[in-house]
Structure 1
C-alpha cells in the first residue's frame, strides 16, 4: 500500500498543498512551524478519522475558512482509490470514494492504513489511561474497520446510561429514586454489555497479538534495558479469565464477557446510583506497560519512555504488515529526539517499508538509509528538491 497523491485545501496552515508521491522514502524538510506535521496529520486523519494532536475538528480548518478538504490517491495491490474528506466544524463531515458519496465518513476506513510515530507518543507511556485506550481502539480500527462502529455504539450507549443513572439516583434534597428510570436501567445494562463485550473482546485479543511484537521491538531499540511487557487490566477484575489478553492465551468469548459485564453492573448498582456514572466497562480499563517489574509510567527514564513508545508503534506496524499488507509509515520529527541506537533501529525498519514519509527540521536529522524523495517546506509552499 502506498500514497500516490496528497492534496489539502484550507487544512491547518495550508491554503493549498499538492504532492505527487512514490513508494519508498519521502522526506519533508523545513523549519519548525512551516506545516510539515500538518501534512502528515492530514494523511493520518484519512486513515483514522482523528488527529494525533487535537480532539476536535475545529483546529484542523485554516483560520478564516469554512471547511477543509483532504484528498488522497491510495494504491493497494495495483488498484487505485481516491478518497476525499470534507471537514466542517459543527457539522457532519462528508466523504467520497472515487468522487462518489458514501453513507458515513467511517465507510472510508480501511482504504488507507497508517502507523504514525510522533513526539506526542510519549503520552502513551506518561499520560493517563485514556491515551492508551485510544491507542488500542485506533489500532483496532486499522486492523478491522468495523470496530469504528462498535466503538461509536458503545460511547453512545454509555452516554445515555450515565444520563439515566443520574436520573435514577437519589435526587439532592429528596432522598428519593426515580422508579421509572430504575425500571429501564436493566435494559440499558444489556445494551452496554452487548457493545462493551465486543469492544472488550477485540481489545483483549489485540493485546495478546501485539504483546510479542512490542517486546521484540523494545529489545531491538534498547537491548541493554530491562524487558518489557504489556497487558490488559479490565474493570471486571478477578472475574475476567486470566488467559484472556495474553500471548498464546484463549481468545476472548463475547457471550461470556457479556454475562460478566451484566453481573458486574448489578454488583455495582448502589455505587453507580450514588455517583451517577457507569463504573464497569471498557471505558474504565487500562493498557498496562511494565518495564522490568515496575510500571513504566513513573519509573521509566526519558530514554526508556521513548523506547517504549517507539516499541508500541513498531509493534503495531509489524502486526499490521503481517496481516493485510504494509501500512504507510509516518515519522513526524522523531529522529532528532532519538539517540544513535534508537535512530538506527527505526531507520532500519523504515527503510524496509513499502512507503515511509518523514519530517525533519534539517537534513542532518534524517538517517542516510532513508535517501529518497525530498521536499522543501517553507513560506506556505512545498516543493520537490
Structure 2
C-alpha cells in the first residue's frame, strides 16, 4: 500500500498544496518551521483520526480559516481509492471515500495505515502510562479498524460514569443523600465492563504478538543489549493473568468495579478499567523507565515501532478478521463480520534521524529501507542516511518542490 497523491487545503501552514508521491522513499527537507512535519502529520491523521503532535483539531486548521481538508489517493495492489477528511473544530468532522459521503469519520479507518517514528516516541519509554496506552490502542485500531467504535464507546461510558460519581461525591461532601443519583450505576458498570473487556482482550493479544518482534528489533538496533519484555499491569489486580477470555475479563472487571465502588464514590472518579492500566517495559531485569540510558530508551522506542510495522505487514491484506464485539452494544451482542485490511503500512520518520547517534541512525535506515513507502522529514540533507536515497522535496515558504 502507498499514498500516490496528497492534497491539503487550509491545513496547518498550507492554504493549499499538492504533493505527488510514489513507492519508495520520499524525503522532505527544509529548515525547521517550514511545514515538513505538517505533510506527514496529515498522512498520519488519515490513518488514526488524530495528530501525534496535538490532542485537538483546532491547531490543524490554518489561522483565519474555518475548516481544513486532507485528501489522499491510496493505492493497494490494483485498487485505487480517494479518501477525504474535512476537519471542523467545534463541529462534526466529515469524511468521504471516492467522493461518497460517509456516516462517520471513522469509516475511513483502515484505508491508510501508518507506523510513525518521531522525537515524541521517547515518551513511550520515559513518559506517563497514557502514552503507552495510546500506543497500544492506536495499533489495535490499525489491526482492527472497528475497534475505534469500541474505544469510543468506552470513553463515552467512562465520561458518563465519572459524571455520576462526581455528582454523588459532591452530594456526600455537602451532607446530601446520593442513593437516587447512583440508581443507574449498576447499568453503567455493565457497559463499562463489556467495552473494557473487549479492549483488554485486544491489548493482551497485541502484547503477546509484539513481544518476540520487539525483542528481535531491539537486538537488531542494539546487539547484546537485551532482552526486553512487555508486561501488562491491569488495575483489576493480579487476577488478570489468569483470565482466559472476554467473558472472564468482563466478570473480572465487573467484580473489581463493585469492590472499588465505595472508594470511587468518595473520590468521584472511576478507579478500575483499561484507562488506569499500564504497559511496563522491561530491559533485562529492570523496568526501562527510570533505569534505561538515553540511548537504550531510544532503542526501545524504535524497537516498539519496528515491531508494530512487522506485525502489520505480517498480517497481510486480509488480516485476522475483526473482534467479536459490536460497537455500541452490551452483553450478548453479535459477532461483527470479518473484513479485509490494507497491506504493508506507510513508514513515517519525522525528524527522527537528527535525534540518533550515527550507529542507530544507520541501523534504523537499513531496517526501514525495504518498505513499500517511506516518508522522511529532515532539516538538512545530511540527516537523511544514504541508504534512503529516493525522491527529494524541498519545503520552504509554504511551497513543496521536487528536486
Shorter-chain TM band: over 0.9
Shift of 1:381: 0.4
- 1:268 corresponds to 2:260: yes
Instruction: Give the match for residue 247 of structure 1.
Output: none
SS in 2 for 1:110: coil
Instruction: Give the match for residue 38 of structure 1.
Output: 38
- 1:334 corresponds to 2:334: no
Partners of 1:108 and 1:222 lie apart in 2 by 37
SS in 2 for 1:268: helix
Instruction: Give the match for residue 381 of structure 1.
Output: 399
Partners of 2:359 and 2:217 lie apart in 1 by 13
Match of residue 279, structure 2, among 274, 280, 287? 287
Shift of 1:359: 0.8
Shift of 1:173: 4.8
Residues 3 and 72, structure 2, Cα contact 8 Å, conserved in 1? yes
SS in 2 for 1:180: coil
SS in 2 for 1:171: helix
- 1:369 corresponds to 2:361: no
Partners of 1:238 and 1:310 lie apart in 2 by 29
Instruction: Give the match for residue 251 of structure 2.
Output: 259
Residues 196 and 258, structure 1, Cα contact 8 Å, conserved in 2? yes
Instruction: Give the match for residue 353 of structure 1.
Output: 371
Partners of 2:240 and 2:306 lie apart in 1 by 29
Partners of 1:113 and 1:129 lie apart in 2 by 24
Residues 7 and 17, structure 2, Cα contact 8 Å, conserved in 1? yes
Instruction: Give the match for residue 241 of structure 1.
Output: 241
SS in 1 for 2:241: coil
Structure 1 spans left out of the alignment, 5+ residues: 245-251
Instruction: Give the match for residue 295 of structure 2.
Output: 303
SS in 2 for 1:382: strand
The more displaced of 180-189 and 102-111 is 180-189
Instruction: Give the match for residue 62 of structure 1.
Output: 62
Residues 3 and 21, structure 1, Cα contact 8 Å, conserved in 2? yes
Shift of 1:348: 1.4
Shift of 1:166: 2.1
Match of residue 344, structure 1, among 333, 357, 362? 362
Residues 15 and 62, structure 1, Cα contact 8 Å, conserved in 2? yes
Instruction: Give the match for residue 333 of structure 2.
Output: none
Instruction: Give the match for residue 304 of structure 2.
Output: 312
Structure 2 spans left out of the alignment, 5+ residues: 317-342
SS in 2 for 1:179: coil
TM superposition score normalised by structure 1: 0.96
Partners of 1:350 and 1:89 lie apart in 2 by 35
TM superposition score normalised by structure 2: 0.91
